[in-house]
Amino acid sequence: MSAHTVKRRKLSPSPDASTSHTKSSGDSTRTSSKAGSEKTAAARKNDSTKPQAGSRGKDERSAEIAMASGFYKSSFFKLQMDELLTGLRPNYDKRISKLQDTLCKLKNAIETLPENPAKSVAEAEKELRGISGVVVPWPEPRPAKDTKYTVSYAKPTNINVVGSFALRTGAKTSDIRSVDMAVTMPSSIFQEKDYVNYRYFHKRAYYVACLAAGIQDSMNELGLEVKFGLQDGDSLRPLILLESRPTSKDDQTPSRPQIRILTAIDSTLFPITRTLPMKSNVRQGSSADQSEIGEPTPFYNASLRSEATVSQYHKYLHLASQKCESFRDACILGRTWLQQRGFHTSFQNGGFGGFEWAALISLLFEGGGPTGQPILMRSYSSYQIFKATIQFLAGRDLTTPLLLFASDVPVPDGGPVLYDGRRGLNLLYKMTPWSYAALRHEATITLKMLNESREDNFDRVFIVKVDESALRFDRLISFPKSFSGDTLQALREQNSLYSVLSKALGDRVKLISFASESVGAWSTRSKGLTKKASHCLSVGLLLDADNVGRVVDHGPPAEEKEEAASFRAFWGEKAELRRFKDGSILESLVWSDQPSEESILHQILAYVLNQHFQVDEEDFLLTGDEYDDLLYDEGDGVVAYSNSPFQSINEAFKELERSVRDMEEVPLEIRHLAPASPLLRYTALRVQGPGGANEPADVVLQFESSPKWPDDFAAIQMTKAAFLIKIGDSLESSGAASGCRVGLENESSKVLNNAYLDIPHTSGFLFRLRIHHEREQTLLERQLKNKSINPREREELAFALFSYKKLFVQTSRLTQALRSLCTRFPLMSPTIRLVKYWFTSHLFSAQVSEELVELLTIRTFTQSYPWDCPSSIMTGFLRTLHFLSRWDWQQEPFIVDLGGDLSPEITETIRTRFTAWRNIDPAMNNVALFVASDLDTDGITWTQYEMPSKVVAGRMTMLAKAAVNLLRTQNQDLDVPDLFQTSLAPYDFVIHLSSKALGDRPAVSKYKNLAEMGTSRGSKMVMVKSFVHDVQACYSQSVLLFHGDERCGVVAGLWNPQMVKPRAWNLKTPYSTAPAPEASQEKQNQVKINHPAILNEISRLGEGLLDTIETK
Amino acid sequence: MKKVTVEVPGYTTLPLQLPSDRKPATHYLYLRPHEPRVPTPDTSRCLFLVNVPIDTTEAHIRHLFGTQLSAGRVERVSFEDVPVKKNTVATDSNLAHRNKKRKRITADDLQSQLEDIWLPSTWNRELQKSGSHAIVFFPDIPSMESSLKAASKAARKGTSIVWGEGLPSDRVPPLGLQRYIAHERLRYPDRATLLRTVNEFMTVFEGVSEARKREETKRLAEPDEDGFVTVMHGPKLNSVSREDEMKELVERQKQKAAGLEDFYRFQSREKRKERQNQLLRRFDEDKRKLRDMRDRRGKIRVSIFFFP
C-alpha cells in the first residue's frame, strides 16, 4: 500500500491541473496525504460509508488519486458535481448590488415608523384599518373582543438581513428566491406571560400589520407590492412579503426576488423552560394564570421558540460557514436534493427545507453520533458532508429523540425529535410522522445510490425530479375533506386521519404520505386568512406488493377481550369472528377479490373512511387501480405471473421437455430444451389456457455436439429438417403430441434457419421447436472472414449470424433471466405486459420487438433509482414511460442488469461498443437504439436492422414525452385509457383491415388437425403480418408501415419524405414512378413517386384482408 | 385520363390502368430494346422493361404483348433479382451429362445438381420489388420490334390498357387473402414430400463429399513437377472441430499462465504504472465526456419538470 502511495506522488500533474482551480474540490482531496489515505482506507473497511478527515489538496489531480484508492464514487461524479455547484451558486455580489438599495430603503422606512401606543385590540384594529386599510392577519383563534391585554407598535431593536441570502447558502433553483429580513421586535411591547394562549402571536400579528401599513407607500414607490403570507405555512406566524409588481413587464423574467419580512424577539424574552416541547401553553378558559397542566402543545411552543432563535441560528450558521469551507456547497447540494424530492421548510411540504438542512449540518459538526461525537468534520468536502448527512438521516431513527446539549427533556411521541438544547428548539418540530417517514425513505434510497458502484447515479441523486406523485406512489387518494387553515387544527385532523389509515392498511402499505397545498400570499387589505387557507389533501401510498392483495386480515384472538374489543371498535360491523384451520378463533376481516369488485384497497378505504370520517365512496378518488383493470381487460383476464394460464403452459413445457428427453428414435443425446417465448417467460400480453388461441410458444432444442454433422450450411438445414420429422414422429408415437408438422421459414435462404416443428401438445398448447446447432456460428464466422465473398453474400451471412445469435442464444438467455426475475419481482410481468400494450396500441408492433419492450421495462425494476423498486403496475408502467421520455438514445446506450452481474467493467465494454457503433453508423441507418445487458453486451441483438429505425425511435420518444406530459398536466384527472389512444393523424395513409376477414374465419378443419384449431387468433394476425411483410419487402425504401395487434384493425403508413420530390428519371429508382407534371421547361424528364399506383397495388395485394385505404 | 406527353429519353412510356373497384390509378411502364453493356446473342430480341408492377408474372407479360397489344409472342421473361442460372439451360446440360457414362460424374456436376434440390417454396406467386425491371425474350427480332411499336402506338394514342384484364384467372394464383391462406398451407409441406426432398438432398450431398474426397486423394497421389508425392492426412470432413480444439488449447495455455503475472518485481511495477496511466486516461475521458455533455444539453441543470 505504501509503495503505491509513494509512486502515486511522483505522478506528473495533468496539464490543466495548474490552470484549473475549483473552489470546492471533492472529498478526493484528502487522499493527497499519505497518512490520511491509509487511515481512511482502514476506516473505510470498517464502515464503508463514513468518510474520514484528512488534509485538503488543491488540484484536480487528486480526483485521479481518489479513484486509484477507490474512495470516490467516481471522478466523473465529482466533475459533474463541481459543474452543478458552479451552476447553482448564486452570484451574491451581483444580487447584493442589485438589492442593496431596496433593502436600505426598506430598513429606513421601518426605522422611521412612528410608535403606536398601546391600545385595546378592537380599537387598534379599527384604527389601523381606518388609516391604511390594512387588515390585521390574526391567527386563529383571533383575540376575543373583551381581551384585556393591549397591542402596540414600537421601533424594532434590530433590523437585519438573515437566512440563505445573508449566509450565501442559497441555490439557484426554480423556487422564488427570497431574501429574508428579520425585524426584531422590542421586548417592551410584551409581557411576561405572553407565551400563553396566543397572546404573543396576537401582539405579533398587530406588529406585522403596523409594519405593513407603514411601509406600504414607500414600497409602492419602489414598485413592490406588500402582501401577507405565512411563514413556513404556519398560520400562527403571518409575515410580510414584498413582491415586484407583475404589471411592469408581462413576462417577469429575472424579476427581483421576493423579500420576506420576518419577525424575531430577543431569545431571553421568554425562558426556554416555558417552551419545552411538553409544556402546555394553550389552556382552556381565558385565565392564563391557571396551573400548567393540560395537553402539551409542542408545535405551538416550538413556533414561539423559533421566533426567539432567529438571530441565534443566524449567528450559528454563519459561524459554521466560516469554519467549514465547504459548508455552503453542502447546503446547495442539500437544498437541491430536498427540492427534487419535494421537501421544503413549510409544514405542508414536509417541514424540512434548506434552513433545517443547514442547521442540521451545523449541529452535526458538534454531535449526533451514537456516543455524542460529531458526525461531520469541518475538513470534509461538500460531497462528504452531503453523504454523511444523508447517512445520518437514513440511519438514525429520530423518533427515538436525539437531544443535543441537553438531557432529560421530555418530548412527545410520534414525530421525530432533534432537540437543540442550546437554543431550546426541536429542529424537526414541523415534521409529521409521515413526512419524516418519507424523508427517511428518500435518504435510504439516496444512500444506496451513493454506495452503488454499478452506476454513478449522479443524475438520479440531483437532477431528476423525484416528487411527481404518480411516479413516486403506487396509489393516490385525493381527499375532498378540506382541512382548516389553522395549522394546529389541521395538524390534529391529519394526525387522526393518518393514524386511522395506517391502522386500517397495516402492512399492506410501506408508506403513507400527505401533501397539501401551501398557502399563498394574500393582499394586506383582504381578510380571509382562514377561508383561503383551507386546502384539499392528497394522500400517496407506497404499497407492499406482497400484502396488498391479501383477502383475509387476522385480528386478535377472541380470548384477548380487550384487544378484540378495540379491534371491533375500529372496524365496526366489518369485523367477524372466524375459526381457522389451525383451530384458532380470531377476529378477522374478509375482503372480496372478485374481478368484478373494486380492489381490496379500495374496499378498505371506502369502509374505513365512511366509518371514521363519514366520507362517502363517491367522495374520494383512488388512482392507480385503473392500470390493473386495463391489464385485466386487455390481457385476457390475466394479471399476475402466477395466474393459471402462465402456470399451465409452463407445466406443459416441463412435460414436453420430459417427453423430448425420453425420445428413443432420435440418435443424438439431448443437451438442452430451452424455452424461448414470451409465453414461457410470463411476458406475453395475451395468454390463454389450454386449447386457447395462443401463439405458438417457441422452444429451442440443442443436441450434444457430434462430429457427424455436415459442415455445409444447406446440409445442416436439411439435417435439421430430417431431425424434426423424426422428433415429430417420436413425440406422436409416445403420445405426447398429435399432429406434429414441420413448417418452413426463410426457405429462399440457405444460411438462415429453414425448418421448425409445430408440436400440438396433448396439454392443449402449441409449441414450436427449432434446433440449435452451435457449429453454425463457427461456420458463419469463418465464412465471414473469407475475403473472397461478394458484398451481397457478406450481408446475408452477417444477417444469418445476427439471426442465429438472436434466435438461439439471446432469446433463450433472456427467457431464462426473465423467468427468475418475474418470480423475484412479482410486478414485473404485469408491468411488462402493460408496456407491451402501450407499444402495440401505438402501432409499434412491426418495428419494436417484444424483447426490446421487455428489456426497457426490466430496467425500471432492476435499476429503479431514484425510486424504490415499483410496487404497483402504475408506477412500473409510468416510470418506464418516464425513462423513455428522458432517454437520449442518440448519445446514450441503454444498459440493463438482468443477471445481477453488471459490473463497471461490463458497463465499460458496452459503452465502448456503443461508441464503435456510432462511429460505424453515425447516421443510425442500421442501429438507432442500442440496448445491452450483462447477458448481452453486443447491444444490437434486438435493435439492429432498423428495429426500430431512427424515425420510429423518435416517435417512440415523442409519444413517451407526450404521455408524461399528459400525466403532469392532468395529474389525477387523467383518464388512463387516453395514454393508450393513438392518433392516426401523423400518418400519410391508413389501411383499415377488414374485420370480417380477421374475425370470422372459422378454423379450417376442426377434427383433422389440432394445430389449426387453436390458431384462429394467431393465424389472422400471421396473415396480416405476412401482408405487411410483403408490402414492406416490395416498397422497402419508400413506405414505412405501422401496425398493432389484432385488436387494432389498422395498418398505418408513411411515405419516405425524401422520395416525394420529383427527380430525374433513373433506372435504379426504387419505387413506382409517374411522369411529373411539367412545371417548367428545364425540368423535363422528371418523374415522381406514383402514390395512387402504389396504393392500388397495396390494395390488390391485400384483397379481402382490408376494407379501405384512407389517405390524407 | 390526361394524355401523357412526358418521354424518358430512349424509352417508350406505356401507361397502364391498374384494375380496381376503388380508385383509378395509372401505372407507367418504360420500355426499350435491351442493350446491356455486354451483349449476348439473345439481347437483340429482348425488350427491357422498367418499373413493372409488383404483381407482375410471366403470364402478365405474355398477356400484355400477346393479347392486349396483340403484337408478339413472348418466349420467356427474366426478372430482376432472380438468378438466371436456375433456368432451363443449366438443367439441360446436367441431364445431358447424366446420360453419359456414370463414372464420369464430377463433384462439380453433383454440386450443381444439389443446388436444384431444395425445400419447396411457401409462396405460390413471387412479387416484384416496386420500380424493378424485367427482360422480355421474344422468339425473334421482328416480334420484339413489333411489340415495341405496338406499345409506343398505344402510348401515343392513349389506348386504355388495363393491367392483367382478361387474363384467365387460372393462369396466375390470386393475391390477397387467398395468397396468405395458401401461404399458411404451403408453409407446412406434407411429410412425405419433405422427407423425399431431404433424403434426395442428403444422398446427393454424400455423393458430392465422396467425389470430392476421391478427387482430392487422386490429386495428392499424383507426383508434382519434381516427381514428389506430398504425404498428407486425408481431407478433414470437419475442419471446424480442429478449430475448436485449437481454441481449447489456447484457453488451457492461458489458464496455466494465470497467477504468474506478479512473479517478478518489474511485472507488478509495470502493472501499477499501467493502472495509473489508465486512471489518468479515464480522468481525461471523463472530462471530455462532461464537456460533450455540456455541449449537447447545455449546463447541468436540475430538472424542474419531468423532462429537461
Contact with chain A for residue B300, Cβ under 8 A: yes
- CA geometry: angle at A498 spanning A494 and A502, to 5°? 175
Comparing CA positions, the residue from A842, A856, A830 lying closest to residue A978 is A842
Whether domain A641-822 has CATH 3.30.460.10: yes
Which residue in this structure is represented by grid cell 426605522? A111
What are the extents of the domains in chain B? 12-82+126-173
End-to-end CA distance of chain B: 54
CA Rg, chain B, in Å?
Answer: 33
- The pair phi, psi for residue A119, each rounded to 5°, is -140, 165
What are the extents of the domains in chain A? 2-72, 92-283+296-463, 474-551+591-622, 641-822, 826-981, 989-1111
Contacts of B55 in chain A (CB under 8 A): 1097, 1100-1101
From chain A residues 428-487, the ones with a CB under 8 A of any chain B CB are 462-465, 468
The pLDDT, as a whole number, for residue B286 is 83
Whether domain A989-1111 has CATH 3.30.1360.200: no
Pick the more confident residue, B255 or A6.
Answer: B255
Contact with chain A for residue B162, Cβ under 8 A: no
Which residue in this structure is represented by grid cell 456414370? B102
The pLDDT, as a whole number, for residue A285 is 57
- CA geometry: angle at A466 spanning A461 and A472, to 5°? 130
Q: Which fold has domain A92-283+296-463?
A: Poly(a)-polymerase, middle domain (1.10.1410)
Comparing CA positions, the residue from B167, B144, B142, B163 lying closest to residue B12 is B144
Distance CA A382, CA A395 (A): 20
* Omega cis (within 30) before B9: no
The pLDDT, as a whole number, for residue A13 is 36
Distance from CA of B226 to the nearest CA of A (A): 31
The pLDDT, as a whole number, for residue A337 is 93
- CA geometry: angle at A460 spanning A455 and A464, to 5°? 150
Contact with chain B for residue A912, Cβ under 8 A: no
Q: Please state the pTM of the whole predicted model.
A: 0.87
In chain B, what is the greatest distance between 2 CA atoms, to the nearest angstrom? 94
Contacts of A7 in chain B (CB under 8 A): 272, 276
CB contact under 8 A, B201 and A714: yes
Distance from CA of B138 to the nearest CA of A (A): 22
Q: Within a 10 A sphere around the Cβ of A532, how many other Cβ atoms?
A: 13
Per-residue pLDDT band at B304 (split at 50, 70, 90): very low
Q: Which residues contact A1079 (CB under 8 A, 6 or more apart)?
A: none
Torsion of CA A923, A928, A931, A932, to 10 degrees: -30
Q: What are the residue ranges of helices labelled H in A825-888?
A: 828-841, 850-862, 873-886
The pLDDT, as a whole number, for residue A999 is 54
Distance CA A1057, CA A1037 (A): 10
- What is the per-residue pLDDT across B36-49, written as a single tens digit (0 to 9) for each? 888 888 888 899 99
Predicted ipTM? Answer: 0.83
Contact A565, A555 (CB under 8 A): no
CATH code of domain A474-551+591-622:
3.30.70
Contact A329, A85 (CB under 8 A): yes
Distance CA A216, CA A227 (A): 9
Distance CA A346, CA A235 (A): 11
Burial state string for A1062-1076 with b = 16 or more CB within 10 A and e = fewer than 16 = bbebeeebbbbbbbb
The pLDDT, as a whole number, for residue A649 is 94
From chain A residues 213-272, the ones with a CB under 8 A of any chain B CB are none
Contact B121, B184 (CB under 8 A): no
C-alpha grid cell, residue B13:
412510356
The pLDDT, as a whole number, for residue A476 is 92
Q: Which fold has domain A826-981?
A: Poly(a)-polymerase, middle domain (1.10.1410)
Same fold across A474-551+591-622 and A641-822? no
Which residue in this structure is represented by grid cell 506522488? A9
Contacts of B271 in chain A (CB under 8 A): none
Contacts of A1104 in chain B (CB under 8 A): 176-178
Distance from CA of A469 to the nearest CA of B (A): 11
Which residue in this structure is represented by grid cell 394562549? A197
Q: Which fold has domain B12-82+126-173?
A: Alpha-Beta Plaits (3.30.70)
The pLDDT, as a whole number, for residue A68 is 44
Residue A557, beta-bridge partner list: A586
Distance from CA of B220 to the nearest CA of A (A): 22
- The pair phi, psi for residue A146, each rounded to 5°, is -95, 20
Contacts of B122 in chain A (CB under 8 A): 744-745, 747
Contact B116, B91 (CB under 8 A): yes
By DSSP bridging, strand A1063-1064 and strand A1086-1089 are antiparallel
C-alpha grid cell, residue B193:
414430400
Residues of chain A with pLDDT under 70: 1-73, 173-176, 246-256, 284-293, 481-485, 528-535, 996-1018, 1078-1084
- What is the per-residue pLDDT across A641-666, written as a single tens digit (0 to 9) for each? 988 999 999 999 999 999 999 988 88
